[in-house]
Amino acid sequence: MAEIFFYHLTESTLDEALPMLVEKSVGRGWNATIQTGRPETRDALDGHLWTYRSETFLAHGRDGDERAEDQPVFLTVSPDNPNGAQIRFIVDGAEPPADLTIYERIVLMFDGLDEQAVAVARSHWKGLKAAGHALTYYQQRNDGGWERAA
Protein backbone atom coordinates (compact mmCIF):
# COMPACT_ATOMS: atom_id res chain seq x y z
CA MET A 1 0.00 0.00 0.00
CA ALA A 2 1.25 3.49 -0.82
CA GLU A 3 2.58 5.82 1.85
CA ILE A 4 0.31 8.87 1.89
CA PHE A 5 1.74 12.18 3.05
CA PHE A 6 -0.01 15.51 3.51
CA TYR A 7 2.21 18.60 3.24
CA HIS A 8 0.70 21.73 4.81
CA LEU A 9 2.31 24.80 3.23
CA THR A 10 2.46 27.80 5.57
CA GLU A 11 5.84 29.45 4.93
CA SER A 12 6.36 29.01 1.19
CA THR A 13 4.32 28.71 -1.95
CA LEU A 14 3.74 25.58 -3.98
CA ASP A 15 6.12 26.98 -6.60
CA GLU A 16 8.86 27.18 -3.98
CA ALA A 17 8.29 23.85 -2.22
CA LEU A 18 7.22 21.45 -4.97
CA PRO A 19 10.38 21.47 -7.13
CA MET A 20 12.60 20.50 -4.18
CA LEU A 21 10.38 17.56 -3.27
CA VAL A 22 10.19 16.43 -6.89
CA GLU A 23 14.00 16.69 -7.20
CA LYS A 24 14.41 14.44 -4.16
CA SER A 25 12.01 11.90 -5.65
CA VAL A 26 13.77 11.86 -9.02
CA GLY A 27 17.07 11.56 -7.13
CA ARG A 28 15.73 8.33 -5.62
CA GLY A 29 15.26 6.97 -9.12
CA TRP A 30 11.50 7.47 -9.07
CA ASN A 31 9.35 8.85 -11.83
CA ALA A 32 6.93 11.48 -10.55
CA THR A 33 3.50 12.55 -11.70
CA ILE A 34 2.13 15.91 -10.61
CA GLN A 35 -1.66 16.09 -10.75
CA THR A 36 -3.25 19.53 -10.64
CA GLY A 37 -6.88 20.43 -10.11
CA ARG A 38 -7.00 22.82 -13.07
CA PRO A 39 -5.31 23.07 -16.48
CA GLU A 40 -4.19 26.61 -15.62
CA THR A 41 -2.16 25.35 -12.67
CA ARG A 42 -0.66 22.57 -14.79
CA ASP A 43 0.34 25.11 -17.44
CA ALA A 44 1.89 27.46 -14.88
CA LEU A 45 3.90 24.61 -13.32
CA ASP A 46 4.98 23.54 -16.82
CA GLY A 47 6.78 26.85 -17.31
CA HIS A 48 7.98 27.08 -13.72
CA LEU A 49 9.75 23.70 -13.65
CA TRP A 50 11.99 24.82 -16.54
CA THR A 51 12.99 28.08 -14.84
CA TYR A 52 12.61 27.83 -11.04
CA ARG A 53 16.40 28.01 -10.50
CA SER A 54 18.95 29.51 -12.84
CA GLU A 55 21.41 26.60 -12.44
CA THR A 56 18.97 23.73 -13.02
CA PHE A 57 15.55 22.63 -14.23
CA LEU A 58 13.28 19.62 -13.95
CA ALA A 59 12.86 17.86 -17.27
CA HIS A 60 9.22 16.92 -17.67
CA GLY A 61 6.30 16.31 -19.98
CA ARG A 62 2.67 17.24 -19.75
CA ASP A 63 -0.76 16.25 -21.00
CA GLY A 64 -0.73 16.06 -24.79
CA ASP A 65 3.00 15.36 -25.12
CA GLU A 66 4.13 12.30 -27.02
CA ARG A 67 6.14 9.57 -25.30
CA ALA A 68 4.89 10.33 -21.80
CA GLU A 69 6.37 7.02 -20.66
CA ASP A 70 9.88 8.45 -21.21
CA GLN A 71 9.39 11.44 -18.91
CA PRO A 72 10.85 11.40 -15.37
CA VAL A 73 8.23 13.98 -14.34
CA PHE A 74 4.79 14.37 -15.86
CA LEU A 75 2.17 17.09 -15.31
CA THR A 76 -1.48 16.18 -15.69
CA VAL A 77 -5.02 17.02 -14.69
CA SER A 78 -6.11 13.40 -15.08
CA PRO A 79 -5.92 10.47 -12.65
CA ASP A 80 -3.82 8.47 -15.14
CA ASN A 81 -0.19 7.45 -14.57
CA PRO A 82 1.28 7.93 -18.07
CA ASN A 83 4.96 7.78 -17.05
CA GLY A 84 4.68 4.81 -14.67
CA ALA A 85 5.40 7.07 -11.69
CA GLN A 86 6.27 5.65 -8.28
CA ILE A 87 5.28 8.92 -6.59
CA ARG A 88 2.28 11.13 -7.28
CA PHE A 89 2.03 14.74 -6.14
CA ILE A 90 -1.54 15.98 -5.84
CA VAL A 91 -1.89 19.77 -5.76
CA ASP A 92 -4.40 22.52 -6.38
CA GLY A 93 -7.30 20.57 -4.83
CA ALA A 94 -7.06 17.71 -7.34
CA GLU A 95 -8.94 14.54 -6.47
CA PRO A 96 -6.67 11.57 -5.69
CA PRO A 97 -6.97 8.73 -8.21
CA ALA A 98 -9.11 5.74 -7.25
CA ASP A 99 -6.21 3.26 -7.39
CA LEU A 100 -3.40 4.34 -5.09
CA THR A 101 -1.85 0.88 -4.88
CA ILE A 102 0.32 1.42 -7.97
CA TYR A 103 2.41 4.08 -6.19
CA GLU A 104 5.13 3.92 -3.56
CA ARG A 105 4.07 7.31 -2.23
CA ILE A 106 1.28 9.85 -2.61
CA VAL A 107 1.94 13.47 -1.59
CA LEU A 108 -0.98 15.87 -1.17
CA MET A 109 0.22 19.47 -0.89
CA PHE A 110 -2.05 22.31 0.15
CA ASP A 111 -1.83 26.00 0.99
CA GLY A 112 -2.50 26.41 4.69
CA LEU A 113 -3.35 30.09 4.18
CA ASP A 114 -6.23 29.25 1.82
CA GLU A 115 -9.35 28.19 3.75
CA GLN A 116 -10.82 26.36 0.75
CA ALA A 117 -7.58 24.43 0.20
CA VAL A 118 -7.53 23.44 3.87
CA ALA A 119 -11.16 22.26 3.67
CA VAL A 120 -10.38 20.16 0.57
CA ALA A 121 -7.33 18.65 2.30
CA ARG A 122 -9.42 17.78 5.37
CA SER A 123 -11.97 16.11 3.12
CA HIS A 124 -9.24 14.08 1.42
CA TRP A 125 -7.78 13.14 4.82
CA LYS A 126 -11.17 11.92 6.09
CA GLY A 127 -11.91 9.96 2.91
CA LEU A 128 -8.49 8.30 2.74
CA LYS A 129 -8.53 7.50 6.48
CA ALA A 130 -12.00 5.97 6.16
CA ALA A 131 -10.73 3.86 3.25
CA GLY A 132 -8.14 2.35 5.60
CA HIS A 133 -5.00 4.16 4.44
CA ALA A 134 -2.23 5.07 6.86
CA LEU A 135 -1.65 8.82 6.63
CA THR A 136 1.21 11.08 7.69
CA TYR A 137 0.92 14.84 8.12
CA TYR A 138 3.82 17.27 7.71
CA GLN A 139 3.59 20.90 8.70
CA GLN A 140 6.00 23.48 7.42
CA ARG A 141 8.38 25.02 9.96
CA ASN A 142 9.21 28.74 10.05
CA ASP A 143 12.47 28.00 8.18
CA GLY A 144 10.55 26.32 5.35
CA GLY A 145 11.55 22.78 6.36
CA TRP A 146 9.10 20.06 7.27
CA GLU A 147 8.10 18.59 10.62
CA ARG A 148 6.04 15.46 11.08
CA ALA A 149 3.01 16.46 13.13
CA ALA A 150 0.76 13.38 12.84
Q: How large is the average pLDDT for residues 63-92?
A: 95
Of 41, 26, 30, 34, residue with least CA distance to 7: 34
pLDDT at 2: 87
pLDDT at 92: 95
List the end-to-end C-alpha distance of the chain, in Å, as a whole number.
19
Q: How large is the average pLDDT for residues 108-120?
A: 96
Do residues 85 and 71 touch, judged by C-beta distance below 8 A? no
Domains of the chain: 3-148 (3.40.50.10110)
123 three-class SS: helix
Residue at 96: amino acid letter: P
In this structure, what DSSP letter does residue 53 have? Answer: B
Per residue in 78-87, pLDDT (tens digit) is 999 999 999 9
Q: How large is the average pLDDT for residues 95-109?
A: 95
pLDDT at 1: 74
pTM for this entry: 0.95
Of 40, 44, 37, residue with least CA distance to 15: 44
